[in-house]
Amino acid sequence: MEIQRDEYALIKECVDGNAEAYAVLVDRYKDMIYNIAYRMLGDADTAHDMAQESFISAYAGLKKFKNDSKFSTWLYSIAVNKCRDHLRGKRPHVPIDEIAEVACSAANPEEGLQSRQMLDGIQNALNALPDNYREAIILKHIEGLDYKEMGTIIGIDAGTLKVRTHRGREMLKKLLKGTGVFDGQR
C-alpha cells in the first residue's frame, strides 16, 4: 500500500507537469515491461521499441489513470495491447504439427538449462503458442499474477483465462517434450 500511495503521488506530479517524476516510474517498471514484451514478441529490438512505446503511451494517458487500480496492472495492459497490435498480421500462423519442430530446432539436449540454446528453445516454444495462449502463460507463470489481475489486464473473465492457460500448458508440454529442455533441468 505504501508503494501505491507513493505511485499515486508521483502520478499526480506527472499530471501537474513534472515530467521528471515519470522517470522514477519508468525506472521502477522498465524491466517488468521489457520482460513481458520480450516474452510476447521473442525479439530484443522489437521488445525494446514496444516497451518504450508502452511507457510513452502511458505518459500520454496518465490523466485517465484511475487510482482504484494498480499502476503496474494498468502498465501491463498497455504493454500487452502494444504487443498484440504489433503481432496482429505480423506473424504467419504456424500449424500445430510444425510447432514441435520449431521448438526442437533451437534446443540442444547436450547443454544445461541456462545455456543460450536452451533459453532460445523455451522462447521458441512460447513463440509457437497462439497469441492468446502465450499471453495467458506469460502473465500466469512468468509474471506470477492471479487470474483476477490477468482478467483486468487482458479484459476478459477469469474462467476464459483459466481455459487458455490450461490449453497453453498442454501445448507447451508437447512442444518442450523431446527438445532436451526437460533433461537440462534434471
Partner 1 sequence: MDNDRELIHKLLDGGLPSDETAALMKRVNSDPDLLEEFTLLKEAVTVIEKSERKQASASFTSDVMRRLSSGAKAERKGWRNFFFGERIFRWNMAYAAAALLLAVLTAGGIYNFRSGGQIPYSALDKSAVTVKFNFYSPDAKSVSVAGDFNKWRTDAGVMRREEGGIWTIKIPLKPGAYNYMFVMNGDAWITDPEAAAYHDDGFGYKNSVVRVDKL
Site for partner 1 in 138-157 (CB under 8 A): 140-142, 144, 147
Please give the Cα distance from 186 to 170 (Å, whole number).
20
Question: Which set of grid coordinates corresponds to residue 46?
Answer: 522489437
Is residue 176 a contact point for partner 1 (CB under 8 A)?
A: yes
Residues that contact partner 1, how many (by CB under 8 A): 45
> Alpha helix locations (H) across 42-157?
44-60, 71-87, 96-106, 116-128, 131-137, 147-154
The minimum distance between CB 68 and partner 1, in angstroms, equals 25
Site for partner 1 in 21-80 (CB under 8 A): 22-23, 26-27, 30-31, 33-35, 38-39, 44, 47-48, 51-52, 55-56, 59
For 78, residues 6+ apart whose C-beta sits below 8 A from its C-beta are 54, 57, 58, 61
- Binding-site string for partner 1 from residue 81 to residue 110, where x marks contact by CB under 8 A and - marks none: ------------------------------
When the beta carbons of 47 and 83 are compared against partner 1, the nearer one is 47
Please give the Cα distance from 150 to 135 (Å, whole number).
9
